[in-house]
Structure 1
Amino acid sequence: MGMRHGQTRDLLLIRGGTVVTGQASLRVDVLCGGVGEILAVGPDLDIPPSCTVVDAGGLLVMPGGVDPQTGIGADEAGFALTAAALSGGTTTILDTMHPDSGRLDGAWRDWQHAARHAHVDVGLHMALPDSSTAVLRQMDSLVTDQGINAFHLSMPEGLSDRDILKLTSHAANCGALCMIEAQNAQAVAYLRAELDHAGITGSEACLLSAPPQVEAEAVGRAIMLAGLSGGPVHVGPVSTIGATEVLAQARLRGQRVEGHVLAPHLVVDEAVHDPEGDAATDFCITLPPFRDGTHRRALWGGLASGTIGMVASGFRPAGAGGNGVVDGLAQRMRVVWLHGVRAGILTAEEFVAVTSQAAARAFNIYPRKGAIMPGADADIVLWDPDAQETCTSGLYAGITLGGRAVQVIRGGVTVWKDDMPCEGAGYGAYVPCPAFRPRLSERMRMAAHLSMRDDEI
């Protein structure tokens, strides 16, 4: 997979639409070309020779979506499914690889080989199995040589507080951050064993073994541990009022912390875990489980206030490692548009922020991704803001989604149009996530230490 898309592209001029970024909405034209970048943005651009003109009249022109968390791993068939992401306006995913053994370099090679089958551009978060000396050494190599600046730490998979302290501190030293999947592993395991003994399994057990308090406590502990080590931290997915409040409190103290929510947690009700219901339980076995409307309203409030910065699909193919849902690549942005923007909770600019720009910023690939400006990748979505559709199957069955990706451009080439992929669109490119500047890392560490000190006063 290349750094960009390699060969020179034909010129493409998008005109007549309203360009929406995370900052503003403007009636301007966008010229794409070169090796897949945006060449110019401005009102009434001249049409260059041999240029294809795209009429965006009546449509919104937005940066391609950036999905901050999928769990495809080294699964070629899973990456082949990413055409669904294009259909929903997402042009970049940040995937998580769970190594089968302690060898991170081998896991990187396996993932890179599988990711060649992706229809979107892809970056990587590497999951860490422990805090051994070998793992710490391999972290350095992945940051320096492979463009990985985020490491996934899973409390449910058994990482101890000591592991988290060592890993977050070491990540900060090499210019990376840690993403912590925060659930109280011992409490969940105990409750699951009790439920098994009572004959309660499957989707219902997912809900009952992870009550809201378990998540809130773990999110608070993850943020506290990262603060002790002085490292920046990203937590999620969050699904509860308590976790949202903990995030808000940490940010008010000045701690460098980001968080994300999965799109289904914004609209799917806990009733899907009812063993007497009609839902397909395969779609509902996930950690964290789905919650009631009180928690969902808090999540929307977290997005509107900036406490929760971004929305992920959490897509994970059946049988892949880690937690996630086996549906949702296509629906992520449409959930946020109808139930966020059309409901009056978010503005169109905030929609772009939570579905694209915030993730690009958090993982240091902005403005290459998540922006419409000269030099950015020409990943652009022409969006019909008035479209609506009610899903009839899968995780989102019975839920109405809004907006529609009329045309999707990846790297200056149209890859989705008229509700179907375009022939000859090819595959996506690997997106290296550069390490954070050493001075920035130092400032993050200082801010974290100060926030912890202030908390003690």
Structure 2
Amino acid sequence: MGARHGVVRDLLLVRGGMVVTGQASLRVDVLCGGMGEMLAVGPDLDIPAGCTVVDAGGLLVMPGGVDPHTAIGADEAGFARTAEALAGGTTTILDTLYPLGASLDDAWRAWWHAAARSRVDVGVHMALPAASPDVLQGMDVLVARRGVNAFHLSMADGLSDRAILQLAGHAAACGALCRIEAQNAQAVAYLRAELARAGITGGEACLLSAPPPVEAEATGRALMLAGLKGAPVQVGPVSTTGAVACLAAARLNGQRVEGHVLAPHLVVDETAHDADAAGGGAAWTSLPPFRDGTHRRALWGALACGTIGMVASGFRPVGRPGNGLPGGLAERMRVVWRHGVQAGLLGAEEFVAVTAQAAARAFNIYPRKGAIMPGADADLVLWDPDAQETSPHGPGTPYGGIMLGGRAVQVIRGGVTVWKDNRLYDDGCYGTYVPCPAFRSGLSVELREAARLSLRDG
């Protein structure tokens, strides 16, 4: 996987559309250069010799989407499915890798080879199994040499408070941040065993073993632990009003914290866990489970006000470790457009923020990603804002019967059209690895002081 996109391309000029960023909407042209970068943005740009012109009349021109949470791992078949992400307007994913007993660096190498099959650009977050000396040393190597600046800590998998304190502090010291999956593992395990003894298993047990207070307690504890170490933290996936309240309180106290939500939790309700309610179909299992309308309304409100900054797909191939869903790469942005923008809850600029810009900022790849400006990667989606359709039912999607809005008419990645007219433009051009640079060296000390202030009254 190369640093850019491998070979020199023809210039490409996108003109006639409404360019939408996280800050503004302007009717300007975008000129993409031969090395996969944006050369110029402005009104009525001249057409260079030999330049391909793309007519975006009647369409929105937005940065390619950035999906901050998938769990594909070292799975070539899983990465081959990233063509689905292109279909939905996403051009970059940030994948979560579980080392599964290997050293962190060996796991990264295996993942890097598998990710060469990706149709989108891809960065990685490393899941940490423990706080052993080998893991701590491996974190240093990944940050310094491999372009990894975020580590996944799973309370749901039983990572102890002591380990979280040590890992979050070490990450902050080496210029990285932690993403904490906040669930009370002991409570979930106890409730699940109790339900199993009563003969309740599958999707129903998934719902009943992780009630909202379990997530709210774990979210508050995760924020407290990160605050004790002065560590920046990203919490998610978030699915409850209680977790939203914890995030809001921490941000009001000045703690550096962000949250993310999985797109299905915005629109799928708790009946998805009931096979009878699904007409005899398979009941879904997920952690966190899908919630009722009260929690979904809180999630939309948190997106609108910035308490939750980004929307992820949570895509996980069947059989891979981690919590997620087998589909959803193509639907992520369409869910947010239909139920956020078309429903009047979000503006187009806010849509770009929660589907692209916020994730790029959080993981230090902005403005390379999530932006339309000279020097940024030439990742663009030409979007039909008026499209609507009902998602079909199927075994691989929780979105059956749910309305989707907007449509990616044409997707450009690295200055090359890779999706158009509902089909993949398969010219052998795969995505590239996106190193996520460490945060600046003085950040840790500043964050530790901010954390002490934020916890002063607590």
Superposition TM-score tier, normalisation by shorter sequence: over 0.9
Shift of 1:8: 1.2
Q: Does 1:448 align with 2:455?
A: no
TM-score, normalised on structure 1? Answer: 0.98
Shift of 1:102: 4.9
Shift of 1:423: 2.6
Partner residue in 2 for 1:430: 433
Partner residue in 2 for 1:67: 67
Letter paired with 2:39:
L
Secondary structure in structure 1 of the residue aligned to 2:337 = helix
Partner residue in 1 for 2:406: 403
Partners of 2:62 and 2:298 lie apart in 1 by: 27
Letter paired with 2:49:
P
Partner residue in 2 for 1:340: 340
Secondary structure in structure 2 of the residue aligned to 1:14 = strand
Shift of 1:273: 1.0
Partners of 1:2 and 1:309 lie apart in 2 by: 30
Secondary structure in structure 1 of the residue aligned to 2:432 = coil
Letter paired with 2:126:
M
Secondary structure in structure 2 of the residue aligned to 1:290 = coil
Partner residue in 1 for 2:376: 376
Shift of 1:448: 1.5
Secondary structure in structure 2 of the residue aligned to 1:100 = coil
Give yes or no for contact 1:283–1:326 (8 Å, CA) kept in 2.
Answer: no
Partner residue in 1 for 2:176: 176
Letter paired with 1:433:
C
In structure 2, the CA distance between the partners of 1:279 and 1:422, relative to structure 1 (3 Å rule), is farther
1:119-130 superposed matches below 5 A: 119-130=119-130
Give yes or no for contact 2:17–2:60 (8 Å, CA) kept in 1.
Answer: yes
Secondary structure in structure 1 of the residue aligned to 2:442 = helix
Partner residue in 2 for 1:117: 117
- Residues 264-312 of structure 1 show CA distances to partners (whole Å, capped at 9, x for unaligned) of 0000010111132226866721100000000000000000000000000
Partners of 1:274 and 1:316 lie apart in 2 by: 21
Alignment size in residue pairs = 455
Gaps of 5+ in 2: none
**Range with greater deviation from structure 2 (335-344 or 418-427):** 418-427
TM-score, normalised on structure 2? Answer: 0.98
Partner residue in 2 for 1:265: 265
1:209-288 superposed matches below 5 A: 209-278=209-278, 284-288=284-288
**Range with greater deviation from structure 2 (397-406 or 416-425):** 416-425
Secondary structure in structure 1 of the residue aligned to 2:389 = strand
Partners of 1:280 and 1:306 lie apart in 2 by: 39
Q: Does 1:305 align with 2:308?
A: no
Letter paired with 1:372:
I
- Residue of 409, 414, 418 corresponding to 1:415: 418
- Residues 33-79 of structure 1 show CA distances to partners (whole Å, capped at 9, x for unaligned) of 13100000000000000000000000000000000000000111000
Secondary structure in structure 1 of the residue aligned to 2:72 = coil
Give yes or no for contact 2:202–2:283 (8 Å, CA) kept in 1.
Answer: no
Partner residue in 2 for 1:5: 5
Give yes or no for contact 2:275–2:283 (8 Å, CA) kept in 1.
Answer: no
Gaps of 5+ in 1: none
Secondary structure in structure 2 of the residue aligned to 1:386 = strand
Partners of 2:228 and 2:194 lie apart in 1 by: 34
Which runs of structure 1 show a deviation greater than 4 angstroms over 4 or more consecutive aligned residues? 279-283
Partners of 1:409 and 1:280 lie apart in 2 by: 41
Shift of 1:440: 2.4
Give yes or no for contact 2:230–2:444 (8 Å, CA) kept in 1.
Answer: no
Letter paired with 1:83:
A
In structure 2, the CA distance between the partners of 1:370 and 1:160, relative to structure 1 (3 Å rule), is same
Secondary structure in structure 1 of the residue aligned to 2:205 = helix
Shift of 1:441: 2.8
Partners of 1:55 and 1:446 lie apart in 2 by: 51
Partners of 1:391 and 1:323 lie apart in 2 by: 23
Q: Does 1:197 align with 2:200?
A: no
CA RMSD in angstroms comes to 1.0
Letter paired with 2:424:
P
Partner residue in 1 for 2:22: 22
Give yes or no for contact 1:203–1:281 (8 Å, CA) kept in 2.
Answer: no
- Residues 330-380 of structure 1 show CA distances to partners (whole Å, capped at 9, x for unaligned) of 000000001000111000000000000000000000000000000000000
Partners of 1:75 and 1:203 lie apart in 2 by: 26
Partner residue in 2 for 1:323: 323
Partners of 1:34 and 1:263 lie apart in 2 by: 34
Give yes or no for contact 1:102–1:135 (8 Å, CA) kept in 2.
Answer: no
- Residues 228-250 of structure 1 show CA distances to partners (whole Å, capped at 9, x for unaligned) of 01111010000000000100000
Give yes or no for contact 2:340–2:346 (8 Å, CA) kept in 1.
Answer: yes
Shift of 1:426: 1.3
Secondary structure in structure 2 of the residue aligned to 1:288 = coil
In structure 2, the CA distance between the partners of 1:44 and 1:235, relative to structure 1 (3 Å rule), is same
Give yes or no for contact 2:238–2:261 (8 Å, CA) kept in 1.
Answer: yes
Partners of 2:199 and 2:281 lie apart in 1 by: 16
